[in-house]
Amino acid sequence: MKALLSAVAVATGAITALAIVGVATPPPARDASAGVRATAAPASSTPPTSAIVRPGTGTASRAAADADSLQQRVERLLAHGTPRDRYQAFAVLARCAHATDFDRYLKSLPASPETARLRARYGDGSARIAAACGDLSARQVERRIELVAAAADDGIPGAASAWIEEGPYGDRTALTQRPDDPLVVAWVEQAIERVLAATRRSDTEAIGQFGSLCLNWEKDDVARVRLLVDAALERRREDQLKAMLN
């Protein structure tokens, strides 16, 4: 989808979207359980285990859920079958994927006194990976893309943005390494469509992404969406570093 919006159409669309959201229909309050945004590594920005439990369950049910293995927790959420539960299952799986990504990132930093300090604080990472991934299999973690895509299509707040931030089919590097790949181009078109659809639903996170697309209207679509993915990854890693050092 080359140059999806002209400069005039984009400016008009931005003003209209903001006016609709800010004046006519303010964004609905997000359900705390549905709005769980997955973050990597055991960090303070990652929702606690109890946040994954379905709203309305009692203390005994929450205790039972906490005793579940991560695999059991995901299976239990998927067995419920609701869009919100699927999004919460995504959050569990994404936490593992993001922890693994952060581990690779930290260990790939060039040597320096600051890097040495960070690595000393981080340790070898095995305990952190174990806490985030537990008994989850690689195939289960890969399934997070399917789950968050379904949640986005079901209109769960934040899901469209979360789907985009995972990158094309879970591979963010594809936007840089294979920008002309037809599969990547098709994914980018779908990403823009999902941002627009979620913005119309007053999804506050999608509205922020829509604003970024508008501000960078002069770039091609792949470059504009790559900015969204890169910005989200940078924010997440900053959060992970802060949580590790606190």
What residue ranges do the domains of the chain occupy?
1-30+157-246, 31-144
Q: Return the H-helix or E-strand segment holding 101.
A: helix 83-108
Residue 25: alpha-carbon gap to chain centroid: 25
pTM: 0.73
In Å, what is the CA distance from 162 to each residue of 19, 91, 122, 152, 227? 24, 10, 26, 8, 14
pLDDT tens per residue, the chain (246 residues)?
443 444 334 433 444 444 333 433 344 444 433 343 433 333 333 333 333 333 334 444 454 555 689 999 999 999 998 999 999 999 999 999 999 999 999 999 999 999 999 999 999 999 999 999 999 999 999 999 999 999 999 999 999 999 999 999 999 999 999 999 999 999 999 999 999 999 999 999 999 999 999 999 999 999 999 999 999 999 999 999 999 888
Q: Of 169, 24, 38, which is closest to residue 100 (Cα–Cα)?
A: 38
pLDDT, tens digit, 9 for 90 and up, residues 153-191: 999 999 999 999 999 999 999 999 999 999 999 999 999
What pLDDT is attached to residue 33?
38
- Tell me, what's the pLDDT at 23? 32
What integer pLDDT is reported at residue 96 of this predicted model?
97
Question: How far apart are the C-alpha atoms of 90 and 153, rounded to whole Å?
Answer: 14
Structure tokens at 168: 């094309």
Residue 246: what pLDDT?
A: 83
